Amino acid sequence: MALTGIEILKMLPKTNCGECGVSTCLAFAMKVAAGQVEIGACPYVSEEVKEKVGEASAPPVRTIKIGKGDNAFVIGGETCLYRHEKRFEHPTGIAVLVRTDMGEEDIAGRLKRFNELHYDRVGLVLKADLIAVNDATGDEGAFTSLVGHVQDECPDAALILMSEHAGCLAAGAKACGDNKPLLYSATRENSDAMAEVAKEAGCPLVVSGESLGDAAELSEQLQGMGLKDLVLDTGARTIRAAFEDHVAIRRASIRHKYKALGFPSICFPCKMTEDPMLEAMVSSVLLAKYAGIIVLSDLQGDILFPLLLERLNIFTDPQRPMVVEENIYPINGPDENSPVLITCNFSLTYFIVSGEVEGSKVPSWLLIKDTEGLSVLTAWAAGKFSADLIAMFIKKSSIADKVNHRNLIIPGYLASIKGELEEELPDWKIQVGPREASHISPFLREWQPG
């Protein structure tokens, strides 16, 4: 049974030393009870207390790792119902399906696209994460051979092994070695055998019910057999049923701490339609509400990229803007005659501005000032991108040593601080750049030192 914050506080040293990153033991205890931090963050608690509090500190949706060691793909670990309450912890895994009854070309195409469809966006690489290998024929040899082939071709992929036969799953898991796959799946008919395979291989196991209630009962049964790492499949194969089940699972686990449903889910848009566009739409709905893994029939850029962007937006921390480091960024090989631009460290601004500068082909110096992740106007309004702070940054940066002119291009939206900045930086001539990033390229091509 979960412990309250006060009960947890009684087990803490109560010295308020702050080493856990929280200022008081009481605040720390409250966070532990809410599942927001691990009890182990306090270096002074005994193993006995860690074990006792473990239940209370565990997130209501269990964290499941698929793959190898530190590089494992992680799902679950969620602590809230809505992103704005805190943040969603682990992004939905995007998987592509390959089957033993597919032709070699079909399989090769999917694996190739898995490896090649990578997108750089705001400093992150967006890509699919898992490959689901489906034993469509019950042929153990063909299955393990395909598992080995997938591992050789896509060493970065976390694997889902799918078979109705416990023997095939056991052989497939063995072929994976320490790259622990997710095993699919235990049903009412085969749960004993599948539980043994999962225990023996040390792999997480999917609980496959015919309905939400069925999956919950089976989950309780498997937990009773000592299995801790489970993933839920409620058997829903329509968007409405899958949507309802996912919302019910999340509410039951977060609001009611219902242990039978306290696990991430897997769902199969690939089995809900044969229309790729509809499959993408189903996936986008389930990605938002609250799928742990979605399995796609294929990977195509026009479908994968929007899903990856949606995922990026949902799984960023709303309380922490994405930032880039305060620094001088050389673009297109600048020299002492190149223009100098400055902007904020909100990552989207940086990547848009740096992309435009790069596209202009004009060698330039881009100065990024730490504005705590705020965009230009917001940072200015919050006093984090004011003339005195910009001047301080320019003086402490080594940009004056890199150029033989003294021209600084500020964002068009900061035109109002031009005079103030010239007072703060008397050696520099302040030039007002364009308001819109799309106008940077022509601006730079015509730029002349003042």
Note the residues at the interface with ligand SF4 (CB under 6 A).
12-13, 15-20, 22, 25, 28, 42, 44
d(CA 229, CA 206): 9
Compute the least distance from the CB of residue 257 to ligand SF4, in Å: 23
The DSSP secondary-structure symbol of 433 reads: -
Nearest to ligand SF4 of 15, 438 (CB atom): 15
Of residues 17 and 381, the one with the C-beta less far from ligand SF4: 17
Residue partners of 212: CB distance under 8 A and separation at least 6:
234, 236, 245, 248, 249, 261
Least spacing, CB of residue 39 vs ligand SF4, in Å = 9
Beta strands in 109-181 (DSSP E): 119-121, 124-126, 130-134, 158-162
Per the DSSP assignment, residues forming a β-bridge with 431 are 409
CB of 5 to ligand SF4, least distance (A): 12
**Strands of 261-339, DSSP E:** 266-267, 293-296, 327-331
Query: Whose Cβ is closer to ligand SF4: residue 13's or residue 306's?
Result: 13
Of 391, 299, 312, nearest in space to 348 by CA: 312
Given the complex with ligand SF4, which of 20 and 287 has the nearer CB atom? 20
We find the least distance from the C-beta atom of residue 42 to ligand SF4, in angstroms, to be: 3
Least CB distance from residue 235 to ligand SF4, whole Å? 44
Write down the residue that tokens 């790069």 correspond to.
Answer: 358
**What is the nearest approach in angstroms of ligand SF4 to the Cβ of residue 29?**
7
- Residue closer to ligand SF4, measured from CB, 8 or 287: 8
Cα separation of 53 and 57, whole Å? 6
Check if the beta carbon of residue 354 is closer than 8 Å to that of residue 373.
no
CB nearer ligand SF4, residue 37 or residue 64 = 37
230, 222 contact by CB (below 8 A): yes
